[in-house]
Structure 1
């Protein structure tokens, strides 16, 4: 388990949160799955829930605001040092601002946007809140990736706005690149395969670390969620796509022999 107290470098996926119709139900599900302790804020925060491990924040769970129609999903937030400048760059690069810049008390500043292919993501400028403060343990953020309906447009967009470098892993079967910040892997960008139903839009996916992918998949089903695919091994770990009991998809991934355990890993 690794703790972090410094702001994440620009472009790093540093936070995820979930907005759902039934916040209490989501808190019960994810606390049961990951062992999170979720502390709900007051009215001034919109009763936003801060999920913690060892007393440090790892993710957020909120209630969909009354009267607002918005899809229930895990939103990936990319760290930025100047959210206003980033919003302007998003518009210039062909993206769309869905939620304008807003101050979150003294915690920081944020906005939500969509890239030119429609994938929704957030940007966060750190204040008191720097993002997730725990990594390399079950229940922590493991990986974020954008799977796009227009890979070339998405690649050009994220390079222009965030200055990402790319490590191309593509082959004849798939198109995928690792997103790099100062040469360091921080996330992924891929093309949605033709086999994916047309109703599935471009999207940012969230992976959470677990100790055992198979056991976690079984726990998802026990808690009322659904296992969407069979667990499989990759060079990066054993993973499985699931959804919670309100239909929100995400992935869990565990260390395997190919990947080894991350530095500082603690179960």
Structure 2
């Protein structure tokens, strides 16, 4: 796959206390297989869909007590320069740029409203080997209670254009505040931003929701529940596909979407 443009999601991984449990869960729900743990990199273990790298799982570092969660990485040609943009835009660096052998350079950050994300400057590891196909990453959305702060930050750090989705007359979209960021033109959307409403309990912090493509949304939900996962929203039909929001059995949030089941008209959008 070609290099990802700056600001495009290029990789995703998650930290699990029970890595074997996570492998069992995602093997069934998403059809993944797993490579060997890389002992030189903290037993980092890549996940594959039809032989192509799509994600990774890793145990927590000794002494760490972080909750299980998926982390989305955005492509950067220069992680050090992106780190400076993050700081000047009001974000916090949780991990300074760190070279990962010959694979590339990574950093972890938190945008001003609280959502955590990563940045990846590729070396030998370019990122996703497939996108938007069954078993692979499909989409992501930043969920935040302070959309103005998040929108300003991401547009300062990455070369994003932005469009707002207009609710129109659909009662299910009433009061929705949803923005789509694009790279290189509005025909290349890369990230959504959704305002968290009253339906989110106060204790849930801002986060990045990662969507994985599946051939059957309802079947994926059933498999997730069978393995101890929880359904939080959906399955629901949309112009983008039939989707559902879940957490796995260790509490990591993710979503599944069957893009072949898109129904309804695409919403109107206006430039921001």
**Quick check: 1:75–1:122 contact (8 Å CA) kept in 2?**
yes
Residue 255 of structure 2 corresponds to residue 251 of structure 1: yes
**Quick check: 2:242–2:262 contact (8 Å CA) kept in 1?**
no
Write the mapping of 1:1-267 to structure 2, written as runs, cut at 5 A: 5-171=1-167, 172-183=174-185, 184-255=188-259, 256-258=261-263
Deviations 1:57-78 (A, max 9, x none): 1001110111012121000100
Q: CA deviation at 1:163?
A: 2.1
* Alpha-carbon distance between aligned partners in 1 of 2:13 and 2:49, rounded to the nearest angstrom: 15
* Alpha-carbon distance between aligned partners in 2 of 1:176 and 1:249, rounded to the nearest angstrom: 19
Indicate the SS of the match to 1:84: helix
**Quick check: 1:237–1:259 contact (8 Å CA) kept in 2?**
no
Match of 2:171 in 1: none
**Quick check: 2:137–2:212 contact (8 Å CA) kept in 1?**
yes
Deviations 1:29-49 (A, max 9, x none): 111211211113332111101
Indicate the SS of the match to 2:84: helix
* Alpha-carbon distance between aligned partners in 2 of 1:26 and 1:18, rounded to the nearest angstrom: 9
* Alpha-carbon distance between aligned partners in 2 of 1:257 and 1:202, rounded to the nearest angstrom: 27
Indicate the SS of the match to 1:129: coil
* Alpha-carbon distance between aligned partners in 1 of 2:45 and 2:155, rounded to the nearest angstrom: 33
Change over 3 Å in CA distance of 1:259–1:11 after alignment to 2: farther
Q: CA deviation at 1:226?
A: 1.7
* Alpha-carbon distance between aligned partners in 1 of 2:87 and 2:177, rounded to the nearest angstrom: 26
Change over 3 Å in CA distance of 1:259–1:206 after alignment to 2: farther
Change over 3 Å in CA distance of 1:136–1:94 after alignment to 2: closer
Indicate the SS of the match to 1:228: strand
Match of 2:170 in 1: none
Count of aligned residue pairs for this structure pair: 256
Deviations 1:186-243 (A, max 9, x none): 1101211122111111111100001111111001111221222231101111011111
* Alpha-carbon distance between aligned partners in 2 of 1:115 and 1:170, rounded to the nearest angstrom: 25
Q: CA RMSD in A?
A: 1.4
**Quick check: 1:170–1:177 contact (8 Å CA) kept in 2?**
no
Indicate the SS of the match to 2:27: helix
Match of 1:265 in 2: none
TM-score calculated relative to the size of structure 2: 0.91
Q: CA deviation at 1:259?
A: 7.5
Runs of 4+, deviation exceeding 3 Å: none
